[in-house]
Amino acid sequence: MTGVDDAIEYEYNPHMHVPDVAAYVERAARASERARACVDGVYDVAYGERPLNTCDIFPAGPDAPVHVFLHGGYWRGRDKADYSFMAPAFLEAGVTLVLPNYSLCPHADLATLVRETTACFHWLRDHGGDYGDMTRLTASGHSAGAHLLAMAHAPDFDAPVAPGLVRRAVLVSGLFDLAPVRHTTVNADIGLDAATAEALSPMHHLPHTDLPLALYVGGGETASWIQQSRDFHTAVSKAGSRASLEVLGDHDHYSIAEELGDARSPLGRACIEAALAS
């Protein structure tokens, strides 16, 4: 591990450059509470043995395509319940939505979180048939969730998602090269050193090339955060993946996530259309 660099802290800690993060969090919580009051969900379904190895499932029917969304929070915060606001748009489109939790740092290390991501997808494959058609499985993730989704599909990781299980992936404002995280205050909880940052960076361990990838990042995010998506898009494209990249207007790191609940927005539409095309 290493010390904090103020310039890197600004670039890689959204709390430093997004005003009133608490307002975004509160707005998502209120919208999610309203959503849970008006749609049917199955809550806290266990996919593993650890306390946070659970998911909330909003079923659209046993023949419906299934979309899994992995939340962000820098691997150390947030909760699946913060994203129930996505459910109405997906259900209206006929898509089952799955919102997993995963263990949080520092109570578990980052490699464990990646393994839990794999475990969730394999549990859905083996046990989720009552909730949707698991042969039509797609996924998205925001921020740390985008990292977990990408890393779990690296064929050289010790516990990757089975090739072909996830048909398409949407990666939103992801972190793909973890080296800078070592120089932020966040690393006090994540505990990365040079070796683990390299070993757990999707930039150095690309997803298998038969997984189509759609990358999105907010135009109002920091230059370094935007460059992470640009560099990853270049790397996976050169490796032979079908990949696209779109910089969305002036969205910041939190406003872009609000689009996930709006089927008319570019990002919400991308996730739903990915599921329907699976």
Number of H helices, E strands in the chain: 10, 8
Domain annotation for the chain: domains and CATH numbers: 6-276 (3.40.50.1820)
Instruction: Quote the pLDDT of residue 17.
Output: 84
Neighbouring residues of 152: CB distance < 8 A, sequence distance ≥ 6: 114, 117, 118, 121, 159, 160, 161
Instruction: Going residue by residue through the chain, which has 278 residues, state the pLDDT in tens, using 9 for 90 and above.
Output: 578 999 999 999 998 888 888 999 999 999 999 999 999 999 999 999 999 999 999 999 999 999 999 999 999 999 999 999 999 999 999 999 999 999 999 999 999 999 999 999 999 999 999 999 999 999 999 999 999 999 999 999 999 999 999 999 999 999 999 999 999 999 999 999 999 999 999 999 999 999 999 999 999 999 999 999 999 999 999 999 999 999 999 999 999 999 999 999 999 999 999 999 99
Cβ-contact 228, 11 below 8 angstroms = no
Residue identified by tokens 């969205």 is 251
What is the identity of the amino acid at 122? H
Burial code (b: 16+ CB inside 10 Å, e: under 16) for 120-133 equals bbbbbbeebeebbb
Instruction: Quote the pLDDT of residue 14.
Output: 92
Instruction: Quote the pLDDT of residue 3.
Output: 84
List the structure tokens of 152. 């779990």
For the entire predicted model, the pTM comes to 0.97
CA neighbor of 52 nearest in space, from 38, 65, 68, 71 = 71
List the structure tokens of 185. 């205050």
Task: List pLDDT tens digits, range 102-121.
Answer: 999 999 999 999 999 999 99
What is the identity of the amino acid at 50? R
List the structure tokens of 244. 């696209």
For residue 11, report the phi and psi dihedrals to the nearest 5 degrees.
Answer: -70, -30
Task: List pLDDT tens digits, range 262-276.
Answer: 999 999 999 999 999
